[in-house]
Amino acid sequence: MNSNQLPENEYSAFNATYIKAIENIELIEELEISLHDFIKFVQNIPLDKFDFRYAEGKWTIKDIIQHIIDAERIFSYRALRISRNDKTPLPGFEENDYVNNTDGNGRSIQELLTEFSAVRHSNLLLFKSFSKEQLTRIGIASEHEVSVRALGFLIIGHQKHHQKVFQERYL
């Protein structure tokens, strides 16, 4: 499945920013490529930047990595439920509450990257297991319709969005 083939009615306007940020990629291939790109990118960040906040109340790079991990878990959980034809509407989540209730800053970068890698490898296997029919199933998450395949592209786009934020505001 190519990201350029994803119909706009399979994701919300809020998520369009993340989906539109990725162009002409294959879902499974890019889930793997973006894993390695992210780890390499983070490993090249100077050590003194990981606890840096560019403004009062903003997240650190460690906070954002933890946020990426948490969001990917939530997006993949939604994909699993929808792929299994579960019609239960899935609630949204408040990202600030999640960050405020973790200790990303108390963890090492290596520990965060190991967790990120484990989550992504699990999701690679999950998305590889979906049939073509399952990938096109649509459910409700955060009060909007979303397809399983859109959630996969959202995982990638969300990660790439935050990498761009790192470059623009932290480095």
Mean pLDDT, residues 68-74 taken together: 98
Q: For 14-28, what is each residue's pLDDT tens digit?
A: 999 899 889 889 999
Q: In a 3-state reduction of DSSP, which class is residue 110?
A: helix
> What is the value of pTM for the model shown?
0.95
CATH 1.20.120.450 fits 3-44+57-170, yes or no: yes
**Residue 5: alpha-carbon gap to chain centroid:** 20
Mean pLDDT, residues 23-43 taken together: 96
Q: What is the DSSP string of 56-108?
A: TTPPPHHHHHHHHHHHHHHHHHHHHHHHTT--PPBP---HHHHHHTS-GGGS-
